[in-house]
A and B are shown apart, each in its own frame.
Chain A
Amino acid sequence: MNALYVARKIFRQFLRDPRTMALIFLVPVAIMTIYYFLLKDDLSMKLTLAVVSSERDSAPYKAFAEVLGGQKNIAFLEDPGPTAAEAIGRTGADVAIELPDGFFAALARNREPRFAIRIEGTKSGVEATVTKIVDAALARARLASIPFLRNLKLTSGAIADVSYHYPTRGFRLIDLTAPAFIAFFLYFITFLLTCVAFLRERSSGTLERILVSPLSSEALVLGYLLAFFVLGSVQGGFLIVFSTRVLDIRTVGGLAPALVPMLVTVLLGVTMGIFFSELAKNEFQVIQFIPIVIIPQVLLSGIIFDADALPAFFRPISAALPLTYTANILKGMLLKGQGYLELGRDFLVLGAFLVGFTGLSFLVARRAR
């Protein structure tokens, strides 16, 4: 009987706190929906496939294209450029296939013709998926070119020369995702630490004391930024060394350049932590930010999951999440070997987030209201 009183009290507390109610009912639904769209396709990835061929009017090509176009996880691009390499450079396709002139004729005569599969290389598992589907499509093309001969062989006999657009051949899923995961982790920890630290400054009265002193709110925020910059440098440096030396994570040109975008992300975590501390009344409410602020970024920013797999209506949400740009930068630097100039747009957006949230945290820490 007494347990009932306790339970009744807990329900009353829940009902008084709309945020907890939302956390219990709405947030899991939203997160499950995103998770569903990320993983609902069996192959768990959506590929953009470009085909370079001069024989697009021939019957075998049409049969080939029909098979590829019928794959629900493949977006099919035709006439993307003169070569497979240029096709990827121009369209950003995940895979480009280049069929040489006379390819279908050779295929029909069982001459085992060669063709090129070029893989962009920043997604894992593409090679296995693509070689299988393309060969099945070519087998169909061969049947279409020799209608009287019902050869029931399921393979085409064509030989694929597989190459990688970025030098990531042999990279594992861990190599492709580890750098972004480190950045995410530093961001997550920093966000939680500053959010709780600033909340405590407010609830313990120390913030009042600071605000009464000549110290400006800007100096207060900058002090937090400085401390976490040092902490993040040490933490990030250590994780980079650990990942490369102990875990043997491979990247193009080493992990060290990743420290710069990681630290920008850490500083963003500081300012977001300070800003969100304003919205929390206690430590429990800080924990509530994890499903609201953190998990959507895990799912939608391309840190771990491939955000391209999501339906178009998720795009604007992804674009509004700061970690999307961190993930882009790290992918560009460590998998594609791109420099600051090529990643300028992403750095600019990430920097704008940092400036914006720094401004907001100045407001949160300001003196007289």
Chain B
Amino acid sequence: MRCTPFPSRSGGPLDSAPAIELSGLTKIFPHGVRALDGVDLAIPRGSLVGLLGPNGSGKSTTVKILCGLIRAFQGEARIEGTRLPDRRSARRIGYMPQQTALYTELSVSENLDFYASINGVRPAAERARRIDEMLGLFDLGERKREVVSALSGGMRQRVSLAAALLHRPPILLLDEPTVGLDPELRLAFWAYFKRLAADGATIVICTHAFDEVKHCSHLAFLKTGQLAAFGTTEELRSVAGSDDWETVYLAHVVRAGTAGPGAGTGGAS
């Protein structure tokens, strides 16, 4: 996969505000499950944040609140200063769900064209140009006319990522984007994410793959809906004094756990 520079992003009037800001974010689902419990987090622009935690720790819930798919129960979430949910932030977000979320009976380019058009990429010629650019970038040019159901899992994952990027959003929310990919493609994905962040995009990636966190600039450790630690990758690693990321994670979770529930602010951003 080649990596071409991502087109520059406009910062907007609130350039100084954190790209993503959570304060006291709490989500209790109707059936009583407390998925998030008072999470405070300020993510600076241009960071590549790994949201790390086991299943049920609140990663997907956080991303869904940021996408505007679900409402916070208490507290608030802001994207570029706009309190969510707010339709105006929709254009600024690129979302890649855990499932590939493509129309399997449509071709690769038809899928991309649909997502580009509902995200306001106009006119058609501009869409076609960006789709070709993406297909080239993700090495899918040969397969553009094939229906998605004929593609392998890795190819679908690439199409799915492309679908989230076509409108060049400054905020990317990716829910386990590298699950099921072979190591080579995984590395290519991470290289691309780093490139996007360097270009100014703010990227939040849910993952429970400890071997991948080294690629991130920042990490947020979640445990049963609480934020155990947040800081730069280097900070968190040196505080725990280990190179093994499972050990680092556990050290921070234990530290936060002894401080009592709700104590969820680790290092600085």
Residues of B participating in the A interface, judged by any CB pair closer than 8 Å: 67-71, 84-85, 87, 90-91, 93, 95, 97-104, 115, 118-120, 163
Contact = CB atoms under 8 A, between A and B. Distances in A.
A283 B139 CA distance: 35
B100 A208 contact: no
Main secondary structure of the interface of B (DSSP, over half): loop
B120 A214 contact: yes
Contact of A213 (B70, B84, B119): B119
B69 A210 contact: no
Given A204-B99, A205-B98, A206-B102, A211 B87 contact: no
Contact of B99 (A205, A210, A215): A205
A205 B100 contact: yes
Given A204-B99, A206-B101, A214 B70 contact: no
Nearest to B94: A212
A367 interface: yes
Nearest to A214: B90
B69 A367 contact: yes
Contacts of B71: 368-369
Contact of A209 (B70, B84, B95): B95
A366 to B, nearest CB: 10
A285 interface: no
A20 interface: no
Contact of B95 (A212, A367, A368, A369): A212
Interface in A174-233: 204-206, 208-216
27 contacts: A204-B99, A204-B102, A204-B104, A205-B101, A208-B67, A208-B69, A208-B97, A209-B95, A209-B115, A209-B163, A210-B118, A211-B69, A212-B67, A212-B90, A212-B93, A212-B95, A213-B90, A213-B115, A213-B118, A214-B87, A214-B91, A214-B120, A215-B118, A367-B69, A368-B70, A368-B85, A369-B70
B201 to A, nearest CB: 16
Contact of B101 (A204, A216, A367, A369): A204
Interface of A: 204-206, 208-216, 367-369
A216 to B, nearest CB: 7
Contacts of B118: 210, 213-215
Contacts of A205: 97-101
B66 to A, nearest CB: 10
Given A368-B68, A368-B69, A209 B87 contact: no
A216 B69 contact: no
A214 B116 CA distance: 11
Given A205-B98, A205-B101, A212-B67, 20 more contacts: A204-B99, A204-B104, A205-B100, A208-B95, A209-B115, A211-B67, A211-B68, A211-B69, A212-B90, A213-B118, A213-B119, A214-B87, A214-B90, A214-B118, A214-B119, A216-B87, A367-B87, A368-B68, A368-B84, A369-B70
Contacts of B90: 212-214
B101 A209 contact: yes
A212 B69 contact: yes
